[in-house]
């Protein structure tokens, strides 16, 4: 089964173009929307996601900031309090830690602290992930930090269709959303596809089956979806029929999609690129153990990064990260139990 089944309209786009198109459309339709970030205006962003926004919408709405993630998020919080919708870019998600206090103690809590009177329509987005030789400061997947912070939604699309549709949904949501983009997918030509139109979104909180199967469920998101799909094709020749479930949204988590898949396959492997200890794969497995144990015919498994920073040298980087063979090996183990 090919990736995705949603109806698609418009010209084909790569992952980066889909994000850029979403920002243009939302800025056009929402005059109260502001974009903040380092080099997002004149440069168009370090990777080009915000290219063209400054020329089209001007420096009052597309604002180049100092190199201070704390300032960026703090300004976004203040603008949201004044009724603005804000897109705040992190040049790399690795450096989101510099704005951590503003995110988890201010942005995430304002709605609760105001007894529901104040919304925080802020999307913090930026490039994340490894596999490109970026070493320890430009390779992190730190999504679990924010999944652990009540008040935040967390999104990580794996394909252009979802990148555009989920970013538009996030900018219309009214709640703060941390939006992880996979930089290694930005310009992958083989992923180009038609994307949603200006009035369409992909709903937050809904997973998608990327491949149907009957023997084992592979659950993942972002870059690792493609490792899962390749592993599933590899396993097919061995007589193992794997289903691949793309979470797309981590918070809120689509548990119903997980139960529906497990009811068919009765075995599960969860894959995340972040370190093993306290990674999101562990959260998924904990929920399966608590609520879906009756579905299981074998112990669940996870494939993750080792508990180490990401090395720069390519063989070492490959050693610590999930890959196709590691995913396939985990599937073989649970299927032979």
State pLDDT tens for residues 185-239: 999 999 999 999 999 999 999 999 999 999 999 999 999 999 999 999 999 999 9
For residue 334, the model assigns a pLDDT of 98
> Of the listed 24, 111, 138, 227, which one is catalytic?
138
Dist CA 299 CA 233 (whole Å): 23
**Any domain includes 200:** no
pLDDT tens per residue across span 56-81 = 999 999 999 999 999 999 999 999 99
Residues 6+ positions from 72 with CB-CB distance below 8 Å: 36, 37, 38, 65, 88, 89, 90, 99
CATH code of the domain covering residue 315: 3.40.50.920
Average pLDDT over residues 239-259: 98
Give yes or no: residues 159 and 40 share one domain.
Answer: yes
Q: How far is CA 43 from CA 46, 55, 278, in A?
A: 7, 11, 36
CATH code of the domain covering residue 150: 3.40.50.970
Q: What is the mean pLDDT of the chain?
A: 96
115 phi/psi in degrees, rounded to 5: 55, 40
pLDDT tens per residue across span 103-145 = 999 999 999 999 999 999 999 999 999 999 999 999 999 999 9
24 catalytic per annotation:
no
Average pLDDT over residues 317-336: 98
Q: Does the pLDDT value for residue 5 go beyond 80? A: no
**Any domain includes 252:** yes
Dist CA 22 CA 58 (whole Å): 17
- Total count of domains within the chain: 2
**222 C-beta neighbours (distance < 10 Å), count:** 26
Dist CA 168 CA 121 (whole Å): 12
**Any domain includes 203:** no
Beta bridge partners of 124: 88, 178
Nearest to 110 by CA among 100, 97, 123, 119: 119
277, two tokens: 């200890």
Dist CA 329 CA 286 (whole Å): 21
Average pLDDT over residues 33-41: 98
**Any domain includes 4:** no
Nearest to 298 by CA among 258, 263, 268: 268
pLDDT tens per residue across span 253-307 = 999 999 999 999 999 999 999 999 999 999 999 999 999 999 999 999 999 999 9
Per-position DSSP letters for 281-308, written without gaps between them: HHHHHHHHHHH-GGG-SS--EEEEE-SS
Average pLDDT over residues 176-185: 98
For residue 3, the model assigns a pLDDT of 35
Confidence label for 88 from pLDDT (cuts 50, 70 and 90): very high
Burial class (CB in 10 A: 0-12, 13-18, 19+), 23: buried
Residue 14: which domain range? 10-195
Please tell me whether the overall predicted TM-score, pTM, comes out greater than 0.85 for this model.
Answer: yes
Give yes or no: residues 126 and 254 share one domain.
Answer: no
For residue 11, the model assigns a pLDDT of 80
Dist CA 13 CA 8 (whole Å): 11
């Amino acid at each position: 089964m090919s990736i995705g089944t949603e109806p698609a309209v418009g010209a084909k786009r790569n992952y980066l173009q889909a994000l850029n198109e979403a920002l243009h459309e939302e800025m056009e339709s929402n005059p109260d929307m502001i974009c903040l970030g380092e080099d997002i205006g004149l440069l168009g962003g370090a990777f080009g996601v915000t290219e063209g926004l400054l020329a089209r919408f001007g420096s009052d709405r597309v604002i180049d900031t100092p190199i201070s993630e704390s300032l960026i998020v703090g300004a976004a919080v203040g603008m949201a309090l004044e009724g603005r919708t804000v897109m705040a870019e992190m040049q790399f998600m690795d450096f989101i830690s510099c704005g951590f206090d503003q995110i988890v103690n201010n942005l995430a809590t304002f709605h609760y602290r105001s007894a529901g009177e104040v919304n925080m329509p802020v999307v913090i987005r930026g490039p994340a992930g490894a596999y490109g030789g970026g070493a320890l400061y430009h390779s992190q997947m730190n999504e679990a930090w924010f999944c652990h912070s009540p008040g935040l939604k967390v999104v990580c699309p794996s394909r252009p269709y979802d990148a555009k549709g989920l970013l538009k949904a996030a900018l219309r949501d009214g709640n703060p959303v941390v939006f992880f983009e996979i930089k290694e997918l930005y310009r992958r030509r083989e992923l180009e596809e038609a994307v949603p139109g200006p009035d369409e979104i992909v709903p937050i909180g809904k997973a998608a089956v990327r491949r149907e199967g009957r023997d084992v469920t592979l659950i993942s998101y972002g870059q690792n979806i493609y490792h899962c799909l390749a592993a599933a094709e590899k396993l097919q020749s061995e007589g193992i029929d794997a289903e691949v479930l793309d979470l797309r949204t981590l918070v809120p988590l689509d548990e119903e999609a997980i139960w529906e898949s497990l009811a068919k396959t009765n075995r599960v492997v969860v894959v995340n690129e972040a370190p093993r200890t306290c990674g999101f794969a562990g959260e998924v497995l904990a929920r399966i153990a608590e609520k879906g144990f009756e579905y299981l015919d074998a112990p669940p498994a996870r494939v993750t990064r080792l508990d180490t920073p990401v090395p720069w040298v390519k063989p070492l980087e490959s050693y610590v990260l999930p890959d196709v063979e590691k995913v396939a090996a985990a599937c073989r183990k649970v299927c032979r139990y």
